[in-house]
Structure 1
């Protein structure tokens, strides 16, 4: 029995069969119910494994969950949009989300938490930074593997492109990024996090026409969320500094 279950990849049958049979005997289950219960547990086990695998493959730098968000500390735009975003309808509708504002206000946390929720809903997700994506595009192009990269990029239900605006790119880089993101436009959902308002994107990509086209393509029917506010990290730093100061003062007394 154990060999069959191992070969067929049925862990519940391998490790829980005796306990399930004992329970079925005590409660006088029919054979039909016992089989159904075993299959249900196998299904639950595989579903849970698949979710964890999708979260791992999403390549998120951290595991951040929507439940961990302190909603009251989010910028007002995010507070208003959160109820709709967490339903994930924007992904099913292929709508983009642009989170813009100063560093430390929860842009990456919110994007990551939505990505994790999408994985839990059995969606396929990719988390990347814009600099990393550009490097990958260039490498695949030089290795003549760009077509495969583009095909894979198109298929994800959700792509998070983090940190747009931290590193500038030349005209070629801007064109490569525009072409790559355009593959998903109107069909699949992309979340962009950026520290720059749209009128400053030409600081990163010098071609004004290209910037205008990129903004137009990314913002069509998108959620545009202003994440400008007080920095979480700065608050935590000030809080830690204050605690240390209080402790030091106590030691001096």
Structure 2
């Protein structure tokens, strides 16, 4: 069989087997193998390693895309000296992602602009790179989705989907209050994950003010109890990181 025919057959088989690197880069790999005088074993190892690396990279890209982050922020880009002390002390712990394995929650509570969302997204993206299934949502968006699911009689399907995520980042608790239906739905679905799957919540309100959102002291107390059990509660009160960035930008103009 001619070499060109063999190459064509290999590429076709690679496509059928969903091996995109081999189907795309076969010619380059063969040239490289000839230059380096590789053995068959070394050539095969090189091709499979590159295929594996591409599949891994594509998997990370897909998980980050499916997580629906509003923008990309990396935990390595956090300015530690600008973070509140409590957050600074816990960055290394959160970066290990051990809390996901133990099903623990993280609650980042503090005034606006102190890095809550940046930290939450950074942890979420790192979790995606480690193979975890992640979802980013805002609390208002989550409430709307829950209400729509109830109206469409698809709450069970939403519940099954919700429980499959290894980590959910729920941003912006405290910016709007909820009616009774929304409060009950949010309580139910966040409680479903308690103690089993991890959730990161960012909030601008201290716990004693959560009843301003949920309007029901008993439900508020129950939710706080469920969410904080064996959880990391991080004091994010401090100087606004965004304000500092704005001031630096203005000085450069």
User: Same-fold call, TM > 0.5?
Assistant: yes
Aligned to 1:206: 215
| Deviation of the 1:213 alpha carbon | 0.2
2:21 and 2:243 map into 1 onto residues whose CA distance is 48
Aligned to 1:44: 53
2:245 and 2:27 map into 1 onto residues whose CA distance is 52
CA gap 1:32/1:179 in 2 versus in 1, 3 angstroms: same
The equivalent position to 2:134 in structure 1, one of 118, 125, 128, is: 125
| Deviation of the 1:18 alpha carbon | 1.8
| Cα displacement string for residues 33-92 of structure 1 (whole angstroms, at most 9, x for unaligned residues) | 211211111111011001000000000001000111101100000001111110000011
Aligned to 2:147: 138
| Mapped pair 1:24 → 2:33 | yes
Q: Number of aligned pairs?
A: 244
1:72 and 1:238 map into 2 onto residues whose CA distance is 17
Aligned to 1:88: 97
Aligned to 1:157: 166
The equivalent position to 1:180 in structure 2, one of 189, 208, 211, is: 189
SS of the aligned residue for 1:183 comes to: helix
Which segments of 5 or more consecutive residues in structure 1 lack a partner in the other structure?
245-253
The equivalent position to 2:124 in structure 1, one of 115, 118, 130, is: 115
CA gap 1:243/1:47 in 2 versus in 1, 3 angstroms: closer
| Mapped pair 1:97 → 2:106 | yes
1:89 and 1:239 map into 2 onto residues whose CA distance is 36
| Deviation of the 1:241 alpha carbon | 4.3
Normalised by the length of structure 1, the TM-score is 0.93
Aligned to 1:249: none
| Cα displacement string for residues 6-39 of structure 1 (whole angstroms, at most 9, x for unaligned residues) | 3332222122212212222232322122112111
Q: CA RMSD in A?
A: 1.2
Aligned to 2:3: none
